[in-house]
Amino acid sequence: MRALMAAMASLGLLAAGAGQAAALRPDQVQFRAIYKELVETNTSHSVGSCTEAAQKMGARLAAAGFSPAELTYFADPAFPKDGGLVAVLKGSDAKAGAVLLLGHLDVVEARREDWTRDPFVLVEGRGASDMKSIDAIWIDSLIRLKQAKRPPRRTLKMALTCGEETDGAFNGASWLATRRPDLVRADFGLNEGGGGQLDEQGHREAMTVQVGQKAYQDYHLTVTNPGGHSSRPRPDNAIYQLADALERLRRYVFPVRLSDTTRASLTPRAARGDPVGQALTRLLADPGDAEAARIAMTDPDVNAILHTNCVATQLAAGHAPNALAQRATANVNCRIFPGETVEETRQALVRLIADPGVTVEATDPDKPLAVPTALDPKVIGPMRALSTKYFPGVPFVPAMSSGATDAVYLAPAHVPIFGVPGIFRDADGDGVHGLNERIGVQSLYDGRDYLFDLLKVYVGG
């Protein structure tokens, strides 16, 4: 019931009645039209098209005065529906550098029969929160800055890409960083990953800026065996051998790692004074305190950022119900702490499994590493100051993401990426990657105003 009420309340704006639209400011009406078109353009990997969405957004920018030279469409011929767009608003001071706005257009799959409403109609919509809300804010902000009386002092770039939600497919952010780094080169970039948290009653708890993230990496564990008839069991069973390896993984805990960002984000949690908080206080003083780590990890949110985590996510074995398995495989998904490598993590898995009969292979091992991001006061300072103005009394906390975004692909281009604060999410995360994804009306418009003011500080607009 709470989720249903939140979904209904969150989209008073999006119920598209004439009276509701009349209540909006003219600039909000323009923004809503962009947002609506984005959500209602299906960009799921199976049947959608990021290329179509990029072209629609490019048309809006062109209508606002952007020249063809300021708009760059890109796509890999092998993936014609996975195209993207880079828009550049040149600053008046060539020496002032540039700021990059990063946004992915693709969304997680959504089946109509599972949703209360059509997931590609703007009442509730797939991508409403992840991350077409921010995409729309970036586009809207570029238009408003383009149409201002004077250009910004600093150049502002926007890259709308595809492939963030589908590991192993064409990734536009990676393509830009490696093929056209000139298009995304900037002093720093802004992306998804930060934002505010509401409690179950809708009260604002905290505002975060994402500073760094873990790296996503899958590993395949494989056991092979001659097999045979199931009536003649043998001691070297592929399924049992793999199960033993996974049991060792289940019991293993990677060493605690702390960075400036995780220390900053864990300190308020430690201040609560409950058993987890007390354990964190000890752990922040001594990362080698194993008992403190054990207690602290009972909080899943704490455990997610204390160290590298690896967990089994898929299993497959056997070829017939009356035969001994000739092959057993498992996928182990790891979220690797910044600074650690794919191969170092693979070697750690090999050591803990301690069975040469279990092969451990990294899938797509050449992805960029997660690079620690510095708490740059020139970036964080304006975020904090505006957060105090817009959301007084709400703690502002730097945080490292335990998940993954396209920010990792900008490392080769040497662009530090920050997940922006500004938009509050419900306690359940607004249904991101789940059913009936949504975003609160007040949260969206407050976040839009916050982010536009933030951009004006950064670019001098």
* pLDDT number for residue 202: 86
Query: What does the angle CA 230 – CA 231 – CA 237 come to, to the nearest 5 degrees?
Result: 45
Instruction: Tell me which residue of 231, 97, 146, 351 sits closest to 138, measured CA to CA.
Output: 146
pLDDT in tens, 344-380: 999 999 999 999 999 999 998 887 788 888 999 999 9
Same domain, 316 and 410: no
Q: Assess contact for 421 and 396: CB atoms under 8 A.
A: yes
Q: How many domains does the chain have?
A: 2
Same domain, 309 and 384: no
Domain of residue 195, CATH code = 3.40.630.10
Same domain, 237 and 166: no
Same domain, 444 and 314: no
Same domain, 444 and 455: yes
How many CB atoms are located within 10 Å of the residue 427 CB?
A: 16
* Residue 110 to residue 434: CA distance in whole angstroms: 8
Same domain, 134 and 70: yes
**pLDDT at residue 121 greater than cutoff 80:** no
Same domain, 76 and 141: yes
Q: Assess contact for 196 and 424: CB atoms under 8 A.
A: yes
Same domain, 71 and 190: yes
Kindly state the tokens that stand for 90: 């040149």
Same domain, 39 and 185: yes
Entry pTM? 0.85
Torsion angles phi and psi, residue 215, rounded to 5: -95, 140
Name the residue with tokens 């009653």: 201
> Exposed, middle or buried by CB within 10 Å (0-12, 13-18, 19+), for 441?
middle
Cα of 359 vs its chain's centroid, Å: 30
* pLDDT number for residue 435: 63
pLDDT-derived band at 199 (thresholds 50, 70, 90) equals confident
Burial 278-302, CB ≥16 within 10 A → b, else e: ebbbbbbeebebeebbebbbebeeb
pLDDT-derived band at 126 (thresholds 50, 70, 90) equals low
pLDDT in tens, 251-265: 999 999 999 999 999
Same domain, 60 and 160: yes
- Domain residues for the domain of 377 are 2-212+371-459
Alpha helices in 271-354 (DSSP H): 275-285, 290-296, 300-306, 342-353
pLDDT in tens, 415-449: 999 999 999 988 776 666 666 677 888 889 999 99
pLDDT-derived band at 149 (thresholds 50, 70, 90) equals confident
| CA-to-CA separations, 129 to 75, 140, 395, in angstroms, rounded | 25, 16, 22
Q: What is the DSSP letter of 368?
A: P
pLDDT in tens, 286-315: 999 999 999 999 999 899 999 999 999 999
Name the residue with tokens 């990496």: 217
Q: Assess contact for 31 and 136: CB atoms under 8 A.
A: yes
Same domain, 18 and 164: yes
pLDDT in tens, 5-61: 333 233 333 333 323 444 888 999 999 999 999 989 999 888 899 999 999 999 999
* pLDDT number for residue 22: 45
Taking residues 268-293, what's their average pLDDT? 95
Same domain, 289 and 230: yes
